[in-house]
Amino acid sequence: MNVRPVIGITTQTLAPIPGEVPRCWVMSQRYVDVLTAAGAIPWVIPLTHDMATLRAVYERLDGVFLPGGVDMDPEVYEESRLPVCGVTDSDRDRVEVTLVRWAMAERKPVLAVCRGVQVLNVAAGGTLYQDLADWCEAAIKHDYWPNEVRQRQDLVHAVSIEDGTQLAAIMGAGTTTVNSMHHQGIKKLAPGLVVNARAPDGLIEGVEGREDGYVIGVQWHPEELVESSPSARRLFESFIESAASRQSDVLAR
């Protein structure tokens, strides 16, 4: 009998609201719903400081999913913080970097979106632009935040998916149009990763592992596109299939 793979979803710190709620760990239900629909059992991961507990949670996972969220603290990639850097969450940085490094070392599937692809790159030894407006004058607009005229699923700029990559095998090579909600991006590519997608201005929009296995990150938000885009659905399905395959291998030992 097939057993649904368990996928860990990291959380983000919500500051306390005096007189209403204490400090919380939260994450969008959208990720849970999309991963569930793709065949996973989602496991929302607390940002615990107890490393034994974090490791015990990790050991029960068949894959790690890194969602979108606030900026990474530049201290994690050994740069000074600039005024353009936004809100950060040091507990989330610590937990996500740890999980990615464990997963990459042990070949456990990883899928990362938006902030997640930035965390993946930093965890593997890369760096980030703290704000794309400071990157180059020719940069296109990437920060289409939801507002009265913009929705999270709006397709706003093209990306070119590199032929011969794992992402191309899943979504198809060539140009596609994506949503975009970020003001930071990959600066120095980590040595263990390869580029699988770029924006028209040259910004890295996707990466994947150099070795066999499933390590994929994209800068856009495919979870918002699964109803309208078969290729977005295939991305999540491929991740769950990889996690299920690894789970079967582990259970067969």
Catalytic residue among 85, 114, 142, 208: 114
Active site residue 221: yes
Query: Does the pLDDT at position 25 exceed 80?
Result: yes
Q: Is residue 223 annotated as part of the catalytic site, yes or no?
A: yes
pLDDT tens sequence across 209-219: 998 899 999 99
Question: Do β-strands 204-209 and 215-218 pair in parallel, antiparallel, or remain unpaired?
Answer: antiparallel
pLDDT at residue 248 greater than cutoff 90: no
- Active-site residue identified among 142, 208, 221, 224: 221
pLDDT at 2: 66
Structural domains in the chain plus CATH codes: 6-252 (3.40.50.880)
Tell me what the mean pLDDT of segment 97-105 comes to.
98
pLDDT band at 1 (very low <50, low <70, confident <90, very high): very low
Q: Catalytic residue at 208?
A: no
User: For residue 251, is pLDDT > 90?
Assistant: no
Choice among 96, 205, 208, 223 that is catalytic: 223
- Residue 137 confidence class, pLDDT cut points 50, 70, 90: confident
Q: d(Cα 109, Cα 97) in Å, to the nearest integer? A: 15
pLDDT of residue 247: 85
pLDDT attached to residue 175: 98
Nearest CA to 69 out of 43, 51, 50, 91 is that of: 91
Q: Could you read off the pLDDT of 33-71 as tens digits, one per residue?
A: 999 999 999 999 999 999 999 999 999 999 999 999 999
